[in-house]
Each structure stands twice: as C-alpha cells, then as structure tokens.
C-alpha cells in the first residue's frame, strides 16, 4: 500500500498559539505565560484607558476648583490619580477571576464588574464635570453596591481578587462622602 511510505511533514514551528504534543514542557510553559501576559495586559489596559479618556474629556467645572473646601477634600489631580489606580486594581482582580474560570463558575460576576466599570466611568464627569451632585451621589451608591457584589463574588473564586476590591470600596465610600459634602456646599 502506498500510504505506508508517506512521511509526516514537520513544520518549522507551531502554527497555533497552543502547544502541540511535540513541544517540550518549557515551550508549553512559555506559550502559556505569553497568553497569560497578553490577557493580563488587556484586562488592565482597557479599564485604565477608558478611565483616562473619561478624565481627559470630562474636565472639571470651576465650581469645584473655586469652592471653599475643608482640608480633607482631595485636589482634582488626586481624585483622577486614585480613579486610575482603582481602575487598575479592578482590572487586575477581574483578570484573576477570569484566569481561574470564575466568570463561568459565577455568571453574575461579569455583569457586576461591567456595572461597576460603567458607574465608575460616569461618576467623575457627572460630579466634577457637570456639577450634578445629586445624580453623582446616586451613582456613588450604585457603584458601592456593585463593588460589594464584586468583592463577594470575586472572593469566592479567588481570595486575592476579592481583597483587591477593598481599596476600591474605600475610595468609593470616600468619594461618596465628598459628593455628599458638595451637595450641601
């Protein structure tokens, strides 16, 4: 039979990003690490870049800058910097949950994450850009609730991911108090 004389053609390298049976353990680990690094970069950069775009386009009204504020009111640059740090932490915690398959295990975790991302993106423009403190206070309360839900769901999948949400919760509570104080100023 002619098929017994056929030889398998060997390619120069793997054509798929997934390791094949012919690769060594080291190559498999390197391929997995590259995929993990790519997904981590994506998970962190998307929320962070969306926050940067929101900060860039929202600006701030002169009301916040000229308002006589107590000593514990943060300057606007600190609000923006902490919002970026919060987005980074939430992206990292979402990646940790995703890496363990948590969005399949806990299907409500993904909508909670998307809700908190959307609420955190609209909070600064509403409060600092347009001066809508009442609506901003409602957004802060919704954001706090979404973060509490994320913390609980994420902790069940990965305890470190749940702990990464805690600074975001503290920041949202602080911004809520600042927004409440702006409401009565």
| pLDDT tens digits, one per residue of 136-149 | 899 999 999 999 99
Most confident of 15-19, 25-29, 53-57, 170-174: 170-174
Q: What is the mean pLDDT of residues 56-67?
A: 71
Name the region of 69 (left: φ>0; alpha: ψ -120 to 50; beta: rest).
Answer: beta
Residue 79's pLDDT band (boundaries 50, 70, 90)?
confident
Q: Exposure pattern of 151-183 as b/e (b: 16+ CB <10 Å)? A: bebbbebbeebbebbeebbebbeebbebbeebe
Give dist(CA 153, CA 113) in Å, integer.
10
Q: What is the mean pLDDT of residues 95-116?
A: 89
Domain enclosing residue 167, as ranges: 75-185
In a domain, residue 67? The reply is: no
Q: How many domains does the chain have?
A: 1
Q: What is the pTM of this model?
A: 0.77
In a domain, residue 96? The reply is: yes
pLDDT, residue 35, reads: 77
In a domain, residue 4? The reply is: no
In a domain, residue 26? The reply is: no
In a domain, residue 10? The reply is: no
In a domain, residue 126? The reply is: yes
- Rg over alpha carbons for the chain, rounded to the nearest Å, is 23
In a domain, residue 19? The reply is: no
pLDDT, residue 16, reads: 56
Burial classification of residue 61, based on how many CB atoms lie within 10 Å of its CB (0-12 exposed, 13-18 middle, 19 or more buried):
middle
In a domain, residue 59? The reply is: no
């Amino acid at each position: 039979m002619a098929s017994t004389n056929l030889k398998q053609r060997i390619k120069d390298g793997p054509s798929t990003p997934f390791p094949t049976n012919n690769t060594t353990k080291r190559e498999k680990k390197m391929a997995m690490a590259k995929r993990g690094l790519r997904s981590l970069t994506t998970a962190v950069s998307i929320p962070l870049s969306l926050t940067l775009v929101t900060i860039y386009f929202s600006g701030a009204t002169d009301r916040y800058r000229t308002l006589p504020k107590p000593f514990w009111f943060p300057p606007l640059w600190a609000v923006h910097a902490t919002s970026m740090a919060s987005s980074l932490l939430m992206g990292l915690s979402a990646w940790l949950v995703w890496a363990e398959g948590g969005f399949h295990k806990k299907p409500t975790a993904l909508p909670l994450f998307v809700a908190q991302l959307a609420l955190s993106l609209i909070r600064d423009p509403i409060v600092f850009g347009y001066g809508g403190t009442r609506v901003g206070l409602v957004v802060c309360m919704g954001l706090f609730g979404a973060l509490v839900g994320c913390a609980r769901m994420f902790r069940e999948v990965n305890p470190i991911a749940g702990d990464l949400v805690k600074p975001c919760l503290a920041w949202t509570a602080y911004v809520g108090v600042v927004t409440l104080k702006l409401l009565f100023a």
